Amino acid sequence: MASPPARLFNRQRSLHEILGGGIVADVVLWRKKNVAVGILAVTAAAWIVFEKSGYTLLSLVANVLLLLLTILFLWAKAAAILNRPPPPLPDMHVTEEMAEQTKVFLHCQINSFLSVSQDIALGRDSKLFLKVAACLWIISIVGGLTDFLTLGYTSLVIVLTIPALYEKYETDIDRCVDKTCVILQKTYVWVDTEYLSKIRKWILEKRKLS
Q: State how many domains the chain has.
A: 2
Alpha helix ranges (H) inside the chain: 15-18, 23-28, 33-53, 57-81, 96-121, 126-145, 148-159, 162-168, 170-191, 197-209
C-alpha torsion angle, residues 165, 170, 172, 173 (rounded to 10): 70
Specify whether the CB–CB gap between 120 and 128 falls below 8 A: yes
Question: Is residue 13 domain-resident?
Answer: yes
**pLDDT higher than threshold 70 for residue 157:** yes
Question: Is residue 157 domain-resident?
Answer: yes
pTM, rounded to two decimals: 0.55
Rounded Cα–Cα distance for residues 129 and 123 (Å):
8
Whether residues 79 and 175 fall in one domain: no
Q: What is the pLDDT of residue 1?
A: 43
Whether residues 183 and 196 fall in one domain: yes
Q: What is the pLDDT of residue 15?
A: 77
Q: Domain limits at 176?
A: 170-210
Question: Is residue 27 domain-resident?
Answer: yes
Question: Is residue 106 domain-resident?
Answer: no
Rounded Cα–Cα distance for residues 200 and 23 (Å):
54
Question: Is residue 51 domain-resident?
Answer: yes
